[in-house]
Amino acid sequence: MALKYVEYTEKYKDEVIKCLRRNFDTLGNMSYSDTSKWLDTISDYEWIDNPERKDIPFWHGAVGLDGYKVVGFFGLIYANRIVNGEKKLVLNATTWTLDPGYTLYVISATKKLFLDMDNITDFSALDQLVALNKRFGLKVIDEKSYFFRKPKSKCSGIYKIVEANDIKDSIIKQEYKDHIRYSVKCVSYTATSGLPEYIFYIVNNRQIDFLKLRWVFILKVTDPSSFSKKYNDIASSICSFEKVSYIQVDSHFMTNVPSKPIKIEHVNRMVKGDIGNNVDYLYSEYSMADQYAGKSKHPVLHKIRKVIRKTVKVKDNK
């Protein structure tokens, strides 16, 4: 038996939603309509500088078919990024799922979907899939995501949210315009060098029973050094503006930890290619769709652990 991988289109939408809802508890607890909207967000995207689609077979993501039966979905987001002054096509792997009984095919799926891609990011890789990703050239660039309380600062409110016309840097301006529809915001400040630096963030929302949680999640920092030096003032301003008490920052966005975090979350931020260690989370699921709770505790993909252990040293013949 072999799975067939085809581009996700509207005709597969109903069966893909059912697949997602039966394999992710949180999506299963959402309404069908909300799950549909979430799927649309990560599959139906457009950028100012769209890549040439003729070279991208799975622009909207991929569907795993056993005959005519939908047994898997593989979220994929493609974008042109400027890396070291050159335009590069970057693939971001988002939400992937396979029905029970098909989890072995994550290996052949990865091989198929990552084929011929020089620059890849996977920011939510499960621990048991890290070894598999490494087989395809990805490396872990960050394993710690810090959660901080809103810092105390006498400068609260100094750093303002900017709009497109306020941004002089053409690349930053394009990134901002590409993400306006996703409620991503940008803060500008003057670094010690006298040059403007930028921070992109999004406000995540989570409903747990009757408790509603909101916090700031940092998506991009153009200068980790100056951000770290001004962290208390910047973070306090952002939290005050958004009326939230918590902020999440991954360790590679900082050159030092400014205070004791209330929580350190283990993550696997993985990249392949010329992107470098100071990679950001724009043009990814993190900047486009609020992350639903429990993603890293996927009940189906945890079964892959034994499969990976048995096959990681064996040549994949699929």
Q: What are 80's two structure tokens?
A: 């042109």
Is-contact 129 142, C-beta < 8 A?
Answer: no
- Give the DSSP letter of residue 30: S
The mean-pLDDT minimum among 97-111, 144-158, 233-247, 261-275 falls in 144-158
At residue 316 the predicted structure's pLDDT band, cuts being 50, 70 and 90, is very low
Q: Which CATH fold would you assign to the domain 145-267?
A: Aminopeptidase (3.40.630)
Quick check: pTM over 0.85?
yes
At residue 304 the predicted structure's pLDDT band, cuts being 50, 70 and 90, is very low
Is-contact 17 38, C-beta < 8 A?
Answer: no
User: Which residue ranges make up each domain of the chain?
Assistant: 4-143+283-311, 145-267
pLDDT tens per residue, range 80-116: 999 888 999 999 999 999 999 999 999 999 999 998 8
What b/e sequence results for 208-230 when a residue is b if at least 16 CB atoms lie within 10 Å of its CB, and e otherwise?
A: eeeeeeebbbbbbbbbbebbbbb
Name the residue among 61, 85, 62 with its Cα closest to residue 6.
62
Assign domain 4-143+283-311 to its CATH architecture. Answer: 3-Layer(aba) Sandwich (3.40)
pLDDT at 186 over 80: yes
The per-residue pLDDT for 277 is: 67
At residue 156 the predicted structure's pLDDT band, cuts being 50, 70 and 90, is low
Give the SS3 label for residue 297.
helix
Average pLDDT over residues 134-159: 88
What pairs with residue 182 in β-bridges? none
Give the SS3 label for residue 34.
helix
Q: What are 141's two structure tokens?
A: 């660039």
The per-residue pLDDT for 296 is: 31
Whether the CA torsion 39, 44, 49, 51 is positive or negative: it is: positive
At residue 302 the predicted structure's pLDDT band, cuts being 50, 70 and 90, is very low
Average pLDDT over residues 237-242: 93
The answer to whether the 4-143+283-311 and 145-267 domains have the same CATH topology is: yes
Q: What are 247's two structure tokens?
A: 């902020």
What b/e sequence results for 274-313 when a residue is b if at least 16 CB atoms lie within 10 Å of its CB, and e otherwise?
A: ebeeebbbbbbbbbbbbbbeebbebebbeebeebbeebee
Average pLDDT over residues 265-274: 95
At residue 209 the predicted structure's pLDDT band, cuts being 50, 70 and 90, is low
The per-residue pLDDT for 54 is: 84
At residue 144 the predicted structure's pLDDT band, cuts being 50, 70 and 90, is very high
pLDDT tens per residue, range 34-74: 899 999 999 999 999 999 988 799 999 999 999 999 999 99
Q: What are 30's two structure tokens?
A: 């959402």
Whether the CA torsion 295, 301, 306, 307 is positive or negative: it is: negative
Rounded to the nearest integer, the mean pLDDT of the chain is 87
- Give the DSSP letter of residue 290: P
Tell me the HSE value of 214 on the side-chain side, using a 13 A CA sphere.
Answer: 10
pLDDT at 13 over 60: yes
At residue 298 the predicted structure's pLDDT band, cuts being 50, 70 and 90, is very low
pLDDT at 279 over 70: yes
At residue 318 the predicted structure's pLDDT band, cuts being 50, 70 and 90, is very low
The per-residue pLDDT for 248 is: 97
Give the SS3 label for residue 82.
strand
Name the residue among 170, 269, 264 with its Cα closest to residue 219.
269
- Give the DSSP letter of residue 271: E
At residue 146 the predicted structure's pLDDT band, cuts being 50, 70 and 90, is very high
Query: DSSP string of 121-182?
Result: EESS--GGGHHHHHHTT-EEEEEEEEEEEPPP-TTTT-S-EE-GGG---HHHHHHHHHHGGG
